[in-house]
Amino acid sequence: MGFLDWFFGREVDQAAEASASPVAIVSKARFVVVDTELTGLDPRKDDIVSIGALRMTGGRLEIGGAFHELVRPTAVLDGKSIVIHGIMPSQVAEKPLIDSVLSAFVGYCGNDVIVGHCLSIDLSFLNRESRRLFGAPLRNPVIDTLSLYGWLRNRQVSHPIFSSPLNGLRLYDMAKSFDIPCEGAHDALADAFITAQLFQRFMPILVDQGIHELDDLLRIGNPGMQGENIFAPGGRANF
Amino acid sequence: MMVDEAIRFLSNIPPFQFLDDPLLRQVCGSLAMEYYPKGTVILQQDGAVSDALRIVKKGVVKISLKPKGGGDEVVIDYREPGETFGLVSLMGKRQKTTIFAVQDTICYLLPKDRFNELLGTNPAIMEYLLQFHLTKYADMTSREIQGKSLFLGSSDHVLFTTQVGEICSRSAATVDLSATIREAAQRMVEEKQSAVIVLDANGMPAGIVTDTDLRKKVVARGHSVDALVGSVMSGPVVTVDDKDHCFEVILKMLQYNFHHVAVTREGVLMGVITNHDFMLLQGRSPLAFSEDIEHQKTIEALAPVSGKILNIIGVLLREGARAANIIRIISELNDRIVRKVLEIVEAEMGPPPVPYCWVALGSEGRKEQTFRTDQDNAIIHADCETPDQEQKARAYFGVFAASVRDGLILCGFEACPANYMASNPEWCQSLSTWKRYFSSWVSEPTPEAVLKSLIFFDLRPLYGDESLARELRDHLVQEIPDHATFLGFLANMLVQNRPPIGFFGSVVVERGGEHKDELNLKIKGIAPLVDIARLFALEKGVRHSSTNERLQALRPTHTIVSEYADELEYAFEFITILRIHNQYRQLESGKPIDNFINLDTLSNLEKQTLKNAFRVIIKVQELVMERYKAFII
């Protein structure tokens, strides 16, 4: 076989369907990884200040086409929350109101699975706005990376991250233990990006643990399972 | 934000750095990112083709091939951050190689449609990528063309195809830091092992105690066996991953001169592997060989060991090791032989009257030796304080250098025809005399002075008091900037040696004589590249001595290198591998080894790649000419 033949492959095309990717099983699933920034944690009185999101298809994270919007809050931003998210009132004064941002976000998500770290908090705000605006919560399937972490930890997966004592369940602690860079400014999109990479790290490990179908992933990633997964019988939650 | 990060990364690597800003931003916007844990098969030979060009962002991947018709997997290449893979796959209809993540790896993916679009609008990108991938593949293809036998029937492949975890079945003997030496020794006896790993409070290896430690540190010194094991252990322990190939582990052992290495699986201690395990696996490994060298007590016994070096290079070539790696191993082994000869002669003669440093010069100094090299060396000895001491030093080093020269000849290192050897009194001097030499060479660059200085700029301390060599190098680096004329002289010499590409783009060969129709790869290909890297290194005061290291070090600071570093490195790699293969063929067929190659033995692709390498050299020579206009005659 000559080099050029070799190079350009002038051979019969074999429809070889190989499992090239480590996440072949969930490789077709489409995800939107999201993070929100809030004025506080109380869904009755606090507000969404920004939404950051990006798309993944299986383990493949899209660099372009991210969603990142600041929201003009209805209430006044107070000093306490500015310290947390660093968004100044002047920055959001000219921004769109939550109604149009949420509509855009719903459009961005389509029917994709929504993924987030400690997602139930973000969801409670997103759903509140969605109910108000559309009369119903978001219909997308959801996955919480914290639930996935707890599930893997409970399984005593042999990866060092899951057997060493817990440093903390916060996104940055977890990211650091996976060697995901966390430097730089932190906004909703930056955190969504970190979450997405964490999700990316989990995928091959989950596949090893027999999680092949999206349904299984949704079951163990259920945001409601967070506590049960981590504070499992046997009390291995040693942090 | 993610796009900006990608732009920052791609704007430093070819070919993407050649794109203008808006286009680069557009390209980065279409990228995806994937993560592959260590051990992932990213693309599988004969599997589905890739749907994207992958750019390594972090980690390392290995490209390997299983020859058709059987035989073992052959490692073709590794790709590191900034390098791409999957181009061939992108353009073909079947995946030709297997690509495997050697470390946890992150890649950017440029989707196929976007890539094709880019090629349509920016042919330069295509040209660059083709050249990069072609040069890398050329080596492998030439072997494929020249006979499949290189792939098959070799029993030496095991080192490259076996993961260290496969041969490390035994569990390690371990003790805690609280154990005594006696307890540690008992564990070793119980486990029938030659070493015991000492674990810290977290169960991680803190140190190791070997048979040798017990002999040297305990018995010989009368150390109490009831003392804590920590007092005699060596640490930290070199650890390797169970998925590392034996070859990589052996390199590590050679590098650190350790015989015991801890093997971990997913961060957990799995066992200990020793050089003995490798020797069982493989009779002719570089490591076994270096062991052989270490054990010799006389030059007569060392000489036959030295002869075996050729076997090892043959093994490496058959395994498809990269030129850079082969050269590294040859240098490593040659260094050991030279050091051993020095050690033996020194033991025979007794200690020198003043400290000295044995330095390797020329190709040996650059770690760029191939099969057979001349001796190029010198002695720098400390300054003498009295005439009496000076006389003693002269007498001692005179005899010493002559014995070493003869010993090296016995071991297969031919004497230098130009007499650039420490046995030549002119090349065996005190530090201050050497400094004076240099100063006169650079201030009055006669052709002979330049020739001498060239070989000396590539000096590398090999044995003895390295600080002497360092001081001389410091002196040299300080002197150069004041002597623009000298650099001009070098530049002038460099541009006179143009690679032989004729008017119509054909390679010009020798017209007559013994080597009619042949081309001297060393003079016409290697030398210009070495000279270019050396000149630039001198300009910037870079202290490295090998061509690759120099180019690497100059990349961030030198304007010409920053633009041409990759091309220069590939050119050097390619010509070197051509030279090594050619010499190995000469050796196997019993012909004398030289640097001449007959172009008719090359494939069209190899000829094309050689021409491209020459064009790069000429391009850079032209830039040198521009820079040193005033000095070019």
Predicted confidence band at A94 (pLDDT cuts at 50, 70, 90)?
A: confident
Torsions phi, psi for B372 (to 5 deg): -120, 130
| Residues on chain A touching B35 (C-beta within 8 angstroms) | 59, 197, 200-201, 204
| Residues on chain A touching B144 (C-beta within 8 angstroms) | 3, 6
B312-330 pLDDT, tens per residue?
A: 676 666 555 666 667 777 8
Rounded Cα–Cα distance for residues B31 and B112 (Å): 11
* Token pair 């007590």: residue: B297
Rounded Cα–Cα distance for residues A113 and A219 (Å): 13
Closest Cα in chain A, distance from residue B184 (Å)? 28
Angle, alpha carbons B83-A186-A121 (nearest 5°): 115
| Contact across the interface for B3 and A62, Cβ inside 8 Å | no
| Contact across the interface for B34 and A200, Cβ inside 8 Å | yes
Closest Cα in chain A, distance from residue B75 (Å)? 17
| Contact across the interface for B104 and A197, Cβ inside 8 Å | no
Collapsed DSSP state (helix, strand, coil) of residue A113: strand
DSSP code string of A131-200 = HHHHSS---S-EEEHHHHHHHHHHTT-SSHHHHSPP--SSHHHHHHHTT----S---HHHHHHHHHHHHH
| Contact across the interface for B40 and A22, Cβ inside 8 Å | yes
Closest Cα in chain A, distance from residue B611 (Å)? 18
Q: Which of A9, A21, A159 sits opposite B93 (nearest CB)?
A: A9
Tokens linked to A48: 């969404």
Rounded Cα–Cα distance for residues B65 and A73 (Å): 59
Average pLDDT in the A37-64 region?
90
| Contact across the interface for B36 and A204, Cβ inside 8 Å | yes
Tokens linked to B54: 């992958």
102-121 of B, contacting A, C-beta below 8 A:
104, 108-109
pLDDT at residue B279, rounded to an integer: 59
Residues in chain B: 633
pLDDT < 50: residue spans in chain B: 136-157, 282-284
In chain A, which residue's Cα lies nearest the Cα of B52?
A60
In chain B, which residue's Cα lies nearest the Cα of A203?
B35
Which of A1, A3, A26 to mutate to probe the B interface, most B CBs <10 Å? A3
The secondary structure of B440-467, three-state, reads HHHHCCCHHHHHHHHHHHCCEEEEECHH
| Residues on chain A touching B3 (C-beta within 8 angstroms) | 63-64, 66
The secondary structure of B376-430, three-state, reads CEEEEECCCCCHHHHHHHHHHHHHHHHHHHHHHHHCCCECCCCCCCCCCHHHEEE
In chain A, which residue's Cα lies nearest the Cα of B95?
A9
In chain A, which residue's Cα lies nearest the Cα of B86?
A7
| Contact across the interface for B46 and A16, Cβ inside 8 Å | yes
Domain A26-230 listed as CATH 3.30.420.10: yes
Q: Which of B33, B44, B93 sits opposite A61 (nearest CB)?
A: B33
| Contact across the interface for B48 and A16, Cβ inside 8 Å | yes
Q: Where do the domains of chain A lie?
A: 26-230
Q: Which of B3, B91, B93 sits opposite A13 (nearest CB)?
A: B93
| Contact across the interface for A16 and B47, Cβ inside 8 Å | yes
| Contact across the interface for B32 and A63, Cβ inside 8 Å | yes
Which of A22, A187, A35 lies closest to A115, judged by CA?
A35
CB atoms within 10 A of CB A134: 13
Closest Cα in chain B, distance from residue A16 (Å)? 5
* Structural contact between residues B470 and B366, judged by C-beta atoms closer than 8 angstroms: no
Whole-model pTM over 0.80: no
- Asked if B44 has any chain A CB less than 8 Å from its own CB, the reply is yes
| Contact across the interface for A64 and B1, Cβ inside 8 Å | no
Q: How many CB pairs under 8 A join A and B?
A: 111
| Residues on chain A touching B6 (C-beta within 8 angstroms) | 63
* Token pair 């400094």: residue: B435
237-276 of B, contacting A, C-beta below 8 A:
266-268
| Contact across the interface for B47 and A60, Cβ inside 8 Å | no
Closest Cα in chain B, distance from residue A151 (Å)? 19
Torsions phi, psi for B519 (to 5 deg): -130, 135
Q: Which of B30, B43, B268 sits opposite A64 (nearest CB)?
A: B30
| Residues on chain B touching A66 (C-beta within 8 angstroms) | 1-3
Q: Which of B6, B40, B48 sits opposite A17 (nearest CB)?
A: B48
- At CB < 8 Å, which residues of chain A contact B? 3, 6-11, 13-14, 16-22, 54, 57, 59-66, 68, 158-160, 179, 185, 187, 189-190, 193, 197, 200-201, 204-205
| Contact across the interface for B3 and A179, Cβ inside 8 Å | no
pLDDT at residue B344, rounded to an integer: 94
| Residues on chain A touching B46 (C-beta within 8 angstroms) | 14, 16, 18
| Residues on chain A touching B108 (C-beta within 8 angstroms) | 63
Tokens linked to B562: 């920053």
- Asked if B137 has any chain A CB less than 8 Å from its own CB, the reply is yes
Closest Cα in chain B, distance from residue A98 (Å)? 22
| Residues on chain B touching A190 (C-beta within 8 angstroms) | 1
CB atoms within 10 A of CB B511: 8
The ipTM assigned to this model is 0.82
Q: Residue A19 pLDDT > 60, yes or no?
A: no
- Asked if B31 has any chain A CB less than 8 Å from its own CB, the reply is yes
| Residues on chain A touching B91 (C-beta within 8 angstroms) | 7-9
- Asked if B47 has any chain A CB less than 8 Å from its own CB, the reply is yes
Please return the burial class of B503, using the count of CB atoms within 10 Å of its CB with bins 0-12, 13-18 and 19+: exposed
| Contact across the interface for A204 and B40, Cβ inside 8 Å | yes
Residue environment code for A60-82, b if the CB has 16+ CB neighbours within 10 A, otherwise e: bbbbbebbebbbbbeeebeeebe
Q: Which of B1, B34, B44 sits opposite A18 (nearest CB)?
A: B44
Tokens linked to B228: 């804590």
**Residue A223 carries which DSSP code?**
G
pLDDT at residue B95, rounded to an integer: 77
Closest Cα in chain A, distance from residue B373 (Å)? 34
| Residues on chain B touching A17 (C-beta within 8 angstroms) | 48
- Asked if B42 has any chain A CB less than 8 Å from its own CB, the reply is yes
Predicted confidence band at A85 (pLDDT cuts at 50, 70, 90)?
A: low
| Contact across the interface for A3 and B603, Cβ inside 8 Å | yes
| Contact across the interface for B2 and A3, Cβ inside 8 Å | no
